[in-house]
Amino acid sequence: MNEQKDNAAVAAAAAAVGIDAEEWQRRQRFVGFGKDDVALLRDMADVVARHADAVVDRFYDNIEHFPDLVNLIRDSGSSMERLKATQRQYLLELFAGDYGASYLERRLRIGVVHHRIGLDPRFYLGSYSIYSQALLPLVRKRYPWNRQRQERAAQAITKLLSLDAQLAVDTYIHRLMHSLDEVSLSRDEVDRRVAGYRRFIANVATGDLTRRIEAVGDDELGSLGDQLNDMVHKLASMARSVTEAGSSMMVAVEQLQQSVSSQSAGAAQQASAVSETATTLEEIRVTSNQTRDKARSLGQAAERTREEGERGLQTVQGTIAAMQDIRVKVESIARNILALSEQTQQIGDITGLVSNMAQQLKILALNASIEASKVGEAGKGFAVVASEVRELAEQSQEATTQIRTILHDIQRATDRSVMATEEGIKGVDEGMRLVDQAGTAMRDLTQVIRETSLAGQQIVAAVGQEASGIDQIAAAMKDINGATKQFLAATQQTKQTALSLGDIAGALRASAAVYKV
């Protein structure tokens, strides 16, 4: 909007001060600005372009020492960076060599902008001096050994800056006079426009946002009219937005209330279900602890059974070893008895032989006695010896008979012993077979007991883990139960908040309904 006003102001200023192409040439001739000056300025364009940023920085470094200028720049909505870019372009245009109608229009615009932002002539006229001070060293740099060209180039710069200053001052004075003319309105016109503003404001106060002020002129009252129109436009937009927002809020609140009601019912059911689940889990936890205790007792019993089975297996193994030793000893006894039987048989044979010899000796003694009696007294001594030999033979016969009887008894006893040992060996073998079977069964039983004990230990561990897991689940369910109760309470609070939002939305929509847009 400022650009449109500035364009109109530039055209008005050019017409008011009578600056056209002919006048512009006339002013150039007045200060002596000719083709030679244009050629010198164009010849310096390269060196100026290389040092343009330094010149502009020097210019604005000087401005930063004056807070009122800095504030003026900030209040105008511009910035140092933007102004530096503009000044750099302005500086390059000074040495572009084109000083026709477009150059004239751009210089007139500078005066309009200065008036619009409130920049006094003392500041921008002083800026031409700053430019002169910054550009003269560049002239010496461009023509270091040609003093005449230095002076002519410096004069060309001074002439062009003088023309720029004339244009800026002319435009500023024109805009200032125009502002004074606009301020010089008649009292009746001011009263009429103020009365129209008053009626407009009264209509706005009653809620009518459909009307607008016919703002005329560039004075303060015209600006005030534009601002009032802009205010009412924004107020109407706000009223429409509030109405739409209130309607949308009402719909959203109704949906929120329905959702909250549904969530509240669901939360209540969930809270009840969670509470029942927590109770059930507590019962399961108690049962699990009891099961764990029973499993631990079962594991201990299985361990004791395993130990007893191990001891039983060791006992059976010891019994088998003992019976094997008994069998060996019984077999040894049987062998000894058989040997004794054989020796007894041999003794019997010897006893029979002795008995036969005693019988023969008895016969011989009898024959000797008969022969001794035949010889009389001479054989009497021999008869006595023969009688004693016969008695000895009879005694030997009796002794052998007794020995034979004893040997016969021994033989029968040994026979019975042999039979008994054979039966004993058979019994030992049968016992060993049965004990071996018992040992096999005991080993199998011990293995089963070991496996049962291991399974019992695993069951105890599993039940312990299960109990720990159930304890954790029960604790987590307690937390869930508490969180569910908090969620239920929060849902109720959200429901109340939704009701309050509904009331607020209704009041907001009713307030916006006052305005007519």
* CA gap 472, 284 in Å, rounded: 12
**Is the confidence at residue 195, as pLDDT, over 70?**
yes
Structure tokens at 125: 């006229």
Same domain for 171 and 278? Answer: no
Q: Can you tell me the mean pLDDT for 128-152? A: 89
Same domain for 343 and 465? Answer: yes
CATH code of residue 367: 1.10.287.950
Q: Specify whether the CB–CB gap between 213 and 475 falls below 8 A.
A: no
Q: What's the pLDDT at 148?
A: 93
* CA gap 174, 220 in Å, rounded: 18
Torsions phi, psi of 291, nearest 5?
A: -60, -40
Residue 244 lies in a domain: no
Residue 222 lies in a domain: no
Cα–Cα distance list, 51 to 92, 254, 304 (Å) = 10, 69, 105
Domains in the chain, number = 2
Residue 277: CB partners within 8 Å, gap ≥ 6? Answer: 477
Residue 120 lies in a domain: yes
Residue from 115, 108, 105 nearest 177 by CA: 115
Is 69 buried (19+), middle (13-18) or exposed (0-12) by CB count in 10 A?
A: middle
* CA gap 403, 351 in Å, rounded: 7
Q: What is the CA radius of gyration of the chain?
A: 73
Same domain for 308 and 430? Answer: yes
148 or 463, which is more confident: 148
Q: What's the pLDDT at 514?
A: 55
Residue 517 lies in a domain: no
Same domain for 450 and 303? Answer: yes
Residue 148 lies in a domain: yes
Q: What's the pLDDT at 417?
A: 72
pLDDT tens digit sequence for 289-318: 776 777 677 667 767 867 877 787 787 678
**Is the confidence at residue 453, as pLDDT, over 80?**
no
pLDDT category at 218 given cuts 50, 70, 90 is low
Cα–Cα distance list, 88 to 53, 125, 163, 307, 508 (Å) = 7, 17, 19, 106, 54
Residue 274: CB partners within 8 Å, gap ≥ 6? Answer: 477, 480, 481, 484
Q: Can you tell me the mean pLDDT for 76-86? A: 79
Which of 24-38, 353-367, 405-419, 479-493 has the largest mean confidence? 24-38
Residue from 278, 209, 288 nearest 462 by CA: 288
Mutual angle of helices 101-117 and 21-31, in 10-degree steps: 90
**Is the confidence at residue 457, as pLDDT, over 50?**
yes
Residue 488: CB partners within 8 Å, gap ≥ 6? Answer: 264, 267, 268, 271
pLDDT tens digit sequence for 37-49: 999 999 999 999 9
Same domain for 398 and 283? Answer: yes
The residue whose two tokens read 């096999």 is 440
Residue 243 lies in a domain: no
Share of the chain above pLDDT 70, in %: 68
C-alpha count within 13 angstroms, C-beta hemisphere, residue 503: 5
Choose one of 184, 205, 239: the last residue of a domain: 184
Q: Can you tell me the mean pLDDT for 321-343? A: 76
**Is the confidence at residue 378, as pLDDT, over 90?**
no
**Is the confidence at residue 1, as pLDDT, over 50?**
no
Same domain for 172 and 289? Answer: no
Same domain for 298 and 435? Answer: yes
Q: Can you tell me the mean pLDDT for 172-176? A: 69
pLDDT tens digit sequence for 16-63: 456 777 888 888 899 899 999 999 999 999 999 999 899 888 878 877
Choose one of 184, 202, 236: the last residue of a domain: 184
Q: Can you tell me the mean pLDDT for 353-379? A: 76
Domain span at residue 119 reads 2-184
Residue 209 lies in a domain: no
Same domain for 164 and 22? Answer: yes
88 or 368, which is more confident: 88
Q: What's the pLDDT at 493?
A: 75
* CA gap 17, 23 in Å, rounded: 10
Same domain for 318 and 417? Answer: yes
Is 491 buried (19+), middle (13-18) or exposed (0-12) by CB count in 10 A?
A: buried
Q: Can you tell me the mean pLDDT for 194-204? A: 70
Q: What's the pLDDT at 479?
A: 78
Q: Can you tell me the mean pLDDT for 140-155? A: 92
C-alpha count within 13 angstroms, C-beta hemisphere, residue 80: 12
Q: Can you tell me the mean pLDDT for 131-152? A: 90
Share of the chain above pLDDT 90, in %: 9
CATH code of residue 63: 1.10.490.10
Residue 217 is given by DSSP the state S
**Is the confidence at residue 517, as pLDDT, over 60?**
yes
Same domain for 172 and 281? Answer: no
pLDDT tens digit sequence for 93-126: 889 888 887 887 887 777 667 667 766 666 667 7
Same domain for 274 and 408? Answer: yes
Tell me the one-letter amino acid at 36. D
Average pLDDT, the chain: 75
pTM of the model: 0.36
Residue 214 lies in a domain: no
Residue 106: CB partners within 8 Å, gap ≥ 6? Answer: 93
Going 295 to 301 to 304 to 309, the CA torsion angle's sign is: negative
Same domain for 157 and 278? Answer: no
Choose one of 184, 216, 242: the last residue of a domain: 184
156 or 416, which is more confident: 156
